[in-house]
Amino acid sequence: MTELTIKDKTRLQEYIKIEPFRTHTRVTKPHKHNKYLEFIYFTKATGFHVIDHYKIEINHPIFFIVRKEQIHYWHLTSEPQGYVIIIKEEFIEQCLDIKIKQQLINISAFTYLITKDNKTIEQLFKLLIHENKNKKNKAIVEGLLKVLLGKLLQIENKKTPSNLTIYQEFIVLLSQQETLSNSVKHYANILNTSPQNLNTSCRNESNKTASEVLSNFILSEAKRLLLYTEKNISQIAYTLSFRDNSHFTKYFKRHVGKTPSEFKSKT
């Protein structure tokens, strides 16, 4: 049996890659990706795309979503025109905008979207390529990505898709919380599952425990509150359900390597 190819199209320190789709690509062998999410938007192409044995014909502008665990390949019959976005886990972990994390989970529930308002979508891709090449302001790239994902998610109804996994439901739930609780059991109860099932789903899809996933969200929210609000450390500790300022400071320093005050003053 031939070993399945695992591709990594990004450089070691590159957490997001945005570029035009390679026009010479026509037929590829079945493969999956090395810990990254891939979006492919065709403005013009013909042929078909197979994702996990699901064959999708290409004959109009279309947006594909390929998750890291999925096996896929291309069979294109004309020169393709379009764009590719590759998003590594590190980009998602470092992103301070929780809304983007929720958007990525929501759109990952789909295999493809038949796009509308293609002029706007294509313009957003061009702006993303330009800003990502400059690498001067990560916030601009995140902002444009947020607009693009919002535009694409308007194609379907605004309700969360019903075929989300427990892990995906967990991420959506965390993204929607006004205050975060540092308890896996608390969220398992809300999701009507056990902490063990939640942990298994997180490990299968993210290679992280449920506690690690929750910790990443708490730390991202803590960083956002430190950088973009006037709340003091005691208020942030309360918002994130820590029992006191000291507990929050020790937790933050253990994971980030700096105290909250040091992080805020040196960023």
Which pLDDT score, from 0 to 100, does residue 181 have? Answer: 86
pTM of the predicted structure, to 2 decimals = 0.65
For the stretch 139-186, pLDDT in tens is: 899 999 999 999 998 885 433 444 678 888 888 788 777 778 889 999
Q: What percent of the chain has pLDDT over 90?
A: 42
Q: Which residues of the chain have pLDDT under 70?
A: 1-13, 34, 69, 136, 156-163, 267
Which pLDDT score, from 0 to 100, does residue 6 have? Answer: 54
Which pLDDT score, from 0 to 100, does residue 161 have? Answer: 45
- The C-alpha angle 100, 103, 106, rounded to 5 degrees, equals 155
Which pLDDT score, from 0 to 100, does residue 98 have? Answer: 78
